[in-house]
């Protein structure tokens, strides 16, 4: 049964901004999205620019946070890790909820720590089912989608790529982990503002069903 959100948990997600992969959301309780498979699936379908996620459902999403958070010394209860069961491969989604107004400049490194934990756990899981599987030439690690949810009023100014946090990356670039994360930036958009900007809302409202709200945004 889909959860109803109270007034403090309502969220409006706007479509991607023109500058980079940055999303703006109105939110008072981001954790409700990532804890709710229905809302999480809808967010992935509508606002992550990956075709393979357009048909994902709540049944495809498994919460595996408890397997990783205790392993990370900086792990928090707002950190969230999901396993999405795609047809071709499992996908792991790491979401860090930044409730502070200050930008966390260590974000790329924290993501890298979680990515390595996910891959290490996946390798052990596969080897347990099929001993020595990870040593074969055709073994592949699953993709990982890192997401940061930022509630600060100011701009997010942390590096979007781990490589930008390393000295002399212009020289040693090919030897440095090179990945980006998706940034969801909280912002106070009202439904009327979304309509005016011709944005679509992603999240369900307690007093305004999703279908009605989508029709409003399409006017």
Could you read off the pLDDT of 54-105 as tens digits, one per residue?
A: 999 999 999 998 888 765 555 466 788 999 999 888 999 998 887 666 788 9
How does pLDDT run across 3-39, given as a tens digit for each residue? 444 554 444 444 444 334 554 444 345 677 788 899 8
- The tens digit of pLDDT for each residue in 119-138 reads 999 999 999 999 999 999 99
- Measured CA to CA, the distance from residue 181 to residue 48 in angstroms comes to 11
Residue 53 phi, psi dihedral angles, 5° rounding: -100, 0
Residue 142 has pLDDT above 70, yes or no: yes
Closest by CA position to 161, among listed 44, 46, 21: 21
| Threshold 0.75, pTM exceeds | no
Would you state the pLDDT for residue 73?
53
Q: What is the structure's pLDDT at 200?
A: 46
Per-residue pLDDT band at 153 (split at 50, 70, 90) = confident
**pLDDT tens readout for residues 177-215:** 999 998 887 654 444 443 443 344 444 443 344 443 344
**Which pLDDT score is estimated for 208?**
42
Structure tokens at 174: 């090919």
Q: Report the distance separating Cα 209 and Cα 62, nearest Å.
A: 25
HSE (side-chain half, CA atoms, 13 Å) at 208: 15
pLDDT of residue 82: 94
> 79 with 69: CB under 8 angstroms?
yes
What is the C-alpha to C-alpha distance for residues 160 and 181, in angstroms, rounded to an integer?
6
Neighbours of 91 (CB within 10 A): 21
- Tokens 């459902």 correspond to 57
């Amino acid at each position: 049964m889909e959860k109803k959100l109270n007034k403090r948990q309502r969220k409006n997600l706007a479509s991607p901004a023109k500058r980079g992969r940055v999303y703006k959301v109105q939110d008072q309780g981001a954790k409700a999205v990532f804890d709710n498979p229905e809302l999480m699936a809808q967010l992935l379908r509508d606002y992550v620019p990956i075709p393979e996620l357009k048909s994902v459902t709540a049944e495809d999403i498994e919460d595996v946070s408890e397997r990783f958070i205790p392993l990370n010394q900086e792990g928090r209860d707002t950190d969230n890790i999901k396993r999405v069961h795609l047809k071709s491969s499992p996908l792991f989604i790491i979401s860090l909820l930044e409730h502070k107004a200050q930008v966390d400049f260590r974000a790329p490194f924290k993501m890298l720590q979680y990515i390595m934990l996910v891959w290490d756990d996946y390798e052990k899981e596969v080897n347990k089912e099929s001993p020595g599987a990870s040593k074969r030439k055709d073994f592949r690690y699953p993709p990982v989608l890192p997401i940061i949810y930022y509630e600060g009023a100011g701009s997010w100014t942390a590096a979007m790529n781990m490589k930008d946090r390393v000295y002399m990356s212009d020289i040693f670039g090919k030897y440095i982990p090179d990945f980006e994360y998706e940034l969801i930036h909280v912002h106070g958009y009202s439904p009327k503002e979304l309509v005016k900007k011709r944005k679509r809302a992603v999240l369900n409202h307690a007093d305004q069903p999703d279908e009605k709200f989508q029709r409003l945004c399409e006017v």
